[in-house]
Structure 1
Amino acid sequence: MRIKKAVVVPIISLLALVFVAFLFNVNNLSISKTSMENSVADMAIGSYPEMAAIEDEKLDFVSDNGRVEPSKVITNVHISLETIEFGSTTDNLNEIINKNKGYIEDSSISHNNYINNRIYKYAQYTIRVPKESMDSFINEISSIGNIVSQSTSKQDITKQYYDTESRLNVLKIKEERILTLLEKAEKIEDIIAIENQLSEIIYQKENLTKSILDMDDKVSYSTVSINISEVEKLTSGVTTETTFATKIANAFRDSLYFFKVVLEKFLITFIYVLPYFLIIGVIGILVYKFVRKKGK
């Protein structure tokens, strides 16, 4: 059965009107909800509509994606070295620090137990060195002792730094606006509300300023941790590039060194027990003479 065209057209028109009316009602509901929220916010901040703009202001920061190289990098270096002349090594270290305009942040010197009848020293240094002097400082350190290990770590804080800087700038703008509102305020409750918000902004601003100063310090001055161990013999550095002749020479020197150590220990031990041997020998001779005389 065919539906007449005269009937279909009015039905389609009616459905279209219903759909448009539905959309209109949804929009009205959304607008009403938004208006209600804004009214509540206005009541909360008093009779100053400018406060709404400050309260709703975002602290978002869009980083600069055009940066090719990080401009804020924290560098930490750890070095372990050994020396047979502890006093001269520490003196040379102080000279190198002063030459490169660094300073000692922390240091300690301890005395180890007796090793081969000698007291050995151990030192720990935490040194801050300007980043532009780091290369020359590290190169000169290798001349004051035998480096056993060395490691370097870097931390890129560029995004964190500019994030913090951007938030600080936004807080400064908010602080200026709130101070302007504070001058216009007349009601006690408005003055108290504005001062409370001002205190919170000042607190946040101080924390961000402290964070920026701390990051600037860590970036401008690299941290170098140095451990110095006093030893009787330096460790022979053998790598994959060490030649066979060098390995033989090192083995020969090590053999002579250990022979010397064993001989010294033997002589020292012999001197320690020599009085006991003399006493035992005298007693043995007397006993022998007594037994022999008794036998006759």
Structure 2
Amino acid sequence: MEARERKWDRRVVLAAALVLVLVISIILGLAVFACAPARAPAPPELLEKGEEGAAAPQMEALLLEEDASREAVEVGEAVPAEELAVSEAYLPAGKRKVIRNAQTSLEVEEGKFSETFDRIVLLAESVGGWVSSSDSQAWEGELASGTVVIRVPAKNFTSVLTQIKAMGKILSINIQGSDVTPEYVDLESRLRNLKAQERILLELMGKAETIGDTIAVQTQLSYVQQEIEIIKGRMQYLDDLVAFSTIQAYLTEPEVKEREPIEWGFGDAFYSALKMFVEVIQGVIVLGLTQLE
């Protein structure tokens, strides 16, 4: 009898622990991307065990805390000073996550489009960058304008942009800097919490005594591990945008000026017709005199 009670108590403790892990994962695991505010439903096996446990008050408290504190942060979004201060506490000075991009339009010398285009490509490759995309338009069989987009290391952003601007007459230029530090810090915090949940679930997996308990733990473990991979992917994406800046350069040769059409008036037309008539008459007379001789 006592053995059964101890076994039953152990199942209750296991169920309560699973409910707590579920609550924490729901709170911290779902807002991975800034545009994904929805909270995914918990696995049905765990919901059934949640009805048997006594963790409802703790669940409500955690959910209220989550709703009050968690906000999605988009790339380039204006961030309050309070959040920036928190971010600085996590990242050392000079280690902020800033994405830098630029767009510029240049007018190059006539017949120099292809040469300038190739110079930009070689410039990107010389600093460890590459061409992301390019396109061009033809004018009378010759390349006259086009766009080349390059990715270069962030440390070379300023020098590369300066060299590109010197290749022609600047028509326009636009430089942007997006601070993604708050989002990155938030992702790091969630990743740490999810990994802690993963360790707990792995321990519970070893203590599970029934098939039902094993399935419940495995389901939640798979969910947590999936969230970990999603957050890692987002962090890697942000790291790439920060490490390599994007420069888009539009090149164009001077416009070809069309010849102005000759304006003809009525007097000019009459004069030309009369002149042609006189020339025809003169030709007929000359031809007649030649035959008479």
TM-score by length of 1: 0.60
How many residues of Structure 1 are paired with residues of Structure 2 in the alignment? 208
Deviation at 1:284, TM superposition (A): 6.4
The alignment status of 1:183 with 2:183, answered yes or no, reads: no
Q: Look up the SS of the partner of 1:71 in the other structure.
A: coil
Question: Which residue pairs with 1:65 in the alignment?
Answer: 86
For the 8 Å contact 1:129–1:223, the answer to whether it is kept is: yes
Distance in 2 (CA, whole Å) between partners of 1:283 and 1:93 is: 64
Q: How many Å separate the matches in 1 of 2:124 and 2:152? A: 8
- 1:119 deviates by 4.1
Q: 1:49 to 1:82 in 2, by over 3 A?
A: same
> Within 5 A, what are the aligned runs for 1:145-160?
145-160=168-183
Read off the aligned partner of 1:77 and give its amino acid letter. Answer: A
1:288–1:157 CA distance, 2 compared to 1 (3 A)? same
Q: What SS does the aligned partner of 2:124 have?
A: helix
Choose 1 or 2 for highest CA Rg: 1
5+ residue gaps, structure 1, are: 1-41, 234-257, 267-276
| Structure 1 residue 162, shift from structure 2 partner | 0.6
State the one-letter code of the partner of 2:23.
Answer: D
Where does residue 30 of structure 1 map in the other structure? none
CA contact 1:82–1:146 (8 Å) conserved in 2: yes
Query: How far 1:164 sits from its partner (Å)?
Result: 0.8
Change (3 A) 1:187 1:66: closer
**Offset of 1:50 from its aligned partner?**
2.7
- Picking from 4, 17, 28, the partner of 1:50 is 17
**Deviations for 1:221-278, whole angstroms, at most 9, x for unmatched residues?**
1111111112258xxxxxxxxxxxxxxxxxxxxxxxx7xx748x87xxxxxxxxxx9x
- The alpha carbon displacement at 1:56 in A equals 3.4
Out of 75, 100, 105, the residue aligned to residue 75 of structure 1 is 100
The letter for the 2-side match of 1:159 is P
- In structure 1, C-alpha distance between the alignment counterparts of 2:181 and 2:202, rounded to whole Å: 32
Q: Unaligned 5+ residue runs, structure 2?
A: 1-8, 29-65, 71-82, 263-271, 289-293
What is the match of residue 266 of structure 2? none
Letter in 2 for 1:147: I
**Equivalent runs, 1:8-27 vs 2, <5 Å:** none
Task: Decide whether the 8 Å contact of 1:70 with 1:156 is kept in 2.
Answer: no
Percentage of pairs with the same residue? 26
Aligned partner of residue 144 in structure 2, secondary structure: strand
TM-score, normalised relative to structure 2: 0.61
- The aligned residue for residue 231 of structure 2 is 208
Give, in angstroms, the shift of residue 201 of structure 1.
0.8
Tell me the secondary structure at the aligned position of residue 209 of structure 2. Answer: coil
Cα distance in 1 between the residues matched to 2:240 and 2:252 = 30
